[in-house]
């Protein structure tokens, strides 16, 4: 019996240590999460532009893009753009020279990444867009859902895709995000205000919970 207790304690310490090391990496703030960008000078432009994201783009690169079109980067006090250095492409929308939103079309970003970056949402709203599409190579059929994601600090809008093969679709951390925009364009505030926000139910809850 003493041997059993001893071995349980030893294995417990080893297992706990391994789990602690894995979970501990969350303390290290990754560089590819969130960058803040703001525009001060009104360029008088109502424009948008695309940025290719190769996984190494940073906000200095984005500043160059903005400089090219006459907008200036200042740092704070203006509408912020949460910018991800992910692979894929980005789009920045300017209204009267102010960057009011940015959208990202990531190649491999998940809902788990979104929560890891922006925190747990206070509200989440999903709506099936009536769009089914199949992956080019695997032939896998997906359903496209529009998503609105609200935290105390930020509002996001985007699209996620769900596997049609699932018997009971769940909102999993590995759910792919096809598009993510932050913050929502100002003009959409009225539209957003009319929405009934569902309280966040956690991952793996059935999808119908969020409808």
Partner 1 sequence: MLNMMSKFGYQQLPSWAHPQHPIMKNVMGHGRAQGWRVFVVRFLAWLLGMAIAVGLGYTIASRNNQDPSVREVLYWPLVAGQILAMVLGVALTANVVAVERQKQTWDSLKLSLTGVSLTLRARWISVYFRLWWLLAAITIGRLVYIAYFLQDMAAFQGRALDLYISGIDPEISLDGAVLLLTALLTAFILQPFIEVGLAAAIGVIVAVFTHTRSVVILGLLLLIGLRLAISISALVVGSTVFEASGGVTLDLYQMDSADAWYRLMLTSIEGDMGLKLLNLETLGQIWADVKNSVYIGGAVLVAVFVIGTIADILVRFSAWRATKPTSF
Footprint of partner 1 (CB under 8 A):
1-4, 6-8, 11-12, 15-16, 18-20, 22-28, 30, 33, 110, 112-113, 115-116, 120, 167-168, 170, 172-174, 200-206
DSSP secondary structure code for residue 167 in this structure: S
Judge contact between 86 and 53, C-beta under 8 A: yes
Least distance in angstroms from the C-beta of 36 to partner 1: 18
Closest separation in Å from C-beta 115 to partner 1:
6
Judged by beta carbon, residue 22 or residue 76, the one nearer partner 1 is 22
Using the minimum distance from each CB to partner 1, give the nearer residue, 28 or 76: 28
Q: Is the Cβ–Cβ distance between 51 and 95 less than 8 Å?
A: no
> Which of 62/171 has CB closer to partner 1?
171
By residue count, the chain amounts to 211
Question: Which CB atom, from 34 or from 41, has the smaller least distance to partner 1?
Answer: 34
Whether the Cβ atoms of residue 180 and residue 88 lie closer than 8 Å to each other: no
User: CB under 8 Å to 83, separation ≥6 — which residues?
Assistant: 34, 35, 36, 37, 59, 62, 90, 102
Q: State the nearest-atom distance from the C-beta of 92 to partner 1, in Å.
A: 25
| DSSP state letter for 121 | -
């Amino acid at each position: 019996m003493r041997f059993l207790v001893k071995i349980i304690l030893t294995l417990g310490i080893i297992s706990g240590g391994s789990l602690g090391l894995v979970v501990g990496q969350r303390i290290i703030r990754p560089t590819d999460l969130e960058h803040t960008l703001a525009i001060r000078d009104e360029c008088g432009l109502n424009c948008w532009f695309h940025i290719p994201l190769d996984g190494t783009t940073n906000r200095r690169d984005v500043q160059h893009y903005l400089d090219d079109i006459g907008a200036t980067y200042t740092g704070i006090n203006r509408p912020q753009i949460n910018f991800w250095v992910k692979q894929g492409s980005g789009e920045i929308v300017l209204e009267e020279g102010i960057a009011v939103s940015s959208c990202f079309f990531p190649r491999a970003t998940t809902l788990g990444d979104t929560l890891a970056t922006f925190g747990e949402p206070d509200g989440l709203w999903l709506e099936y867009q009536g769009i089914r599409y199949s992956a080019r190579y695997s032939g896998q059929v997906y359903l496209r859902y529009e998503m609105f994601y609200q935290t105390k600090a930020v509002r996001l809008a985007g699209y996620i895709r769900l596997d049609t093969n699932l018997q009971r679709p769940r909102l999993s951390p590995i759910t792919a995000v096809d598009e993510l925009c932050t913050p929502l364009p100002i003009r959409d505030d009225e539209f957003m205000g009319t929405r009934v926000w569902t309280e966040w139910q956690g991952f793996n809850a059935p999808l119908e919970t969020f409808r």
